[in-house]
Structure 1
Amino acid sequence: MSLSRSNEPETEVLRVPYVSIIGAHLDRMQLDYAGILEIQVTILVRAKNGNGKAHASFSDSSYGLSLNREVVAQLVAPPFELGKNSSVDFNYVVPSSPIPLGPEQAEYVDTALKNDRITFHLKGGTRVRWRIGHLGSVRFLCLLDCQLHFHPLNGTYIPSRCSSKAK
């Protein structure tokens, strides 16, 4: 995992901090005759604090990546802080251990390869705390629950809207 920070103002003004998927790539996908699957996925996650008056602290960031209801990887970020109107990008490179597939799962992957379209599910969240001067802080949870679609033949990501909902 690598990260980069940006303090450049954007034209879009969002007050509530959020996380979103801004890119991805299916680096490797291999299914052998015994039904053992190996994958490597790169996922670019952006955390953004669009508030010009409050810093934000992010913690307990964890997302499960699953294929056909089977968790294949866990994406975790250490606690971090974002200043006013800033963002940070996390570049997760997610290799899997060999995953033994059952007959139904192997058929799902085989069909996905034949149709050149496979879907992963990304679900999880991060805790966010805004510090508001002497008034204290506001806490909430940013939840992600989205599907990531890829063309497995060349690994390209099919962009879709995937941003957190605050609770």
Structure 2
Amino acid sequence: MPNSRQLPRDRTSPLIWLLAILCTVIAVAVILVGIVVFTIYLVYRPRIPYLRVSRAHLDRLDYDQNGLLAVALSLTIAAENDNARASAWFSDARFDLRFHDVLIAELRADPFDVARNSSLPLSYVVDSSVIPLDQGAREEMDSALKEDKVSFSLGGQTRARWRVGVFLSVKFLAHLSCTLQFSHSNGSSVGGVGCSSKSN
């Protein structure tokens, strides 16, 4: 009579079960977090706060044949927050005003809040010291004065943060890169006002 022997059953390791349960819990948690974030988005409809050049005027431009430049201008950068349900917080606002890569002024701002669905103007009055221009900058200034259109570059960034709901806080950098153009004859802006970090 033949002998029959029952083969031992393979048993799943407790470690495998533990890993399976852990993966299931993580997957469920990720799904729940996604649902919460999506729900908050639908409720708050968050919009990214941004910077915008709202006003610029060339108050004075002194330039002589020795290539010495002195500039006075007034500039307003508006911090815009279009969120209807969340205020925005800005910090480390730093902007440089240049002519032909020559630094004219460094513009800074202390940390500030912008209430929901509103804006806050940052007003600057630049009155530079006498700045010597190199040959390339001299040539550009000579051409600009003949055309009655003097261009300056404004560049920089600020850190921004706004809270969506109770737990979700969004942080980002707002970059500003604009070319400001002025008529030398009357100081009025002929380009650059309206430039914003939205397009950068």
Q: Do both share a fold (TM > 0.5)?
A: yes
User: Structure 2 length as normaliser, TM-score?
Assistant: 0.73
Which of the two has higher C-alpha Rg?
Answer: 2
Residue pair 1:120, 1:147 contacting (<8 A) in 2 also = yes
Residues of 1 paired with 2:52 and 2:83: CA distance? 16
Could you tell me which amino acid in structure 2 is paired with residue 162 of structure 1? C
Distance 1:67 1:17 in 2: 28
Residue 166 of structure 1 deviates from its aligned partner by 8.4
Corresponding residue of 2:4: none
Correspondence for 1:107: 139
Matched residues, number: 155
Is 1:28 paired with 2:68? no
Q: Structure 1 runs of 4+ off > 2 angstroms?
A: none
Partner of 1:165: 198
Match among 76, 80, 86 for residue 48 of structure 1 = 80
Gaps of 5+ in 1: 1-12
Letter in 1 for 2:174: C
Q: What displacement does 1:27 show?
A: 0.6
Q: Which has the higher helix share?
A: 2
| Contact preservation (8 Å) 2:148, 2:184 | yes
Shift in Å, 1:14: 8.3
CA distance in structure 1 between the aligned counterparts of 2:191 and 2:85, rounded to whole angstroms = 32
Q: Which amino acid aligns with 2:141?
A: V
Aligned position for 1:6: none
Q: Which residue number corresponds to residue 133 of structure 1?
A: 165
Percentage of pairs with the same residue: 42
In structure 1, what is the Cα distance between the partners aligned to 2:199 and 2:90?
13
Structure 1 residue aligned with 2:36: none
Give the C-alpha shift of residue 165 in structure 1.
3.3
Match of 1:59, SS state, is strand
Q: Tell me how far 1:132 sits from its aligned partner.
A: 2.4
Maintained 8 Å contact 1:140/1:166: no
Matched, 1:153 2:185: yes
Aligned to 2:156: 124
Cα deviation for residue 30 of structure 1 reads 0.6
For 1:83 and 1:115, locate their aligned partners in 2 and report how far apart those are by CA, in whole Å. Answer: 42
Q: CA RMSD in A?
A: 1.9
State the secondary structure of the residue aligned to 2:166: helix
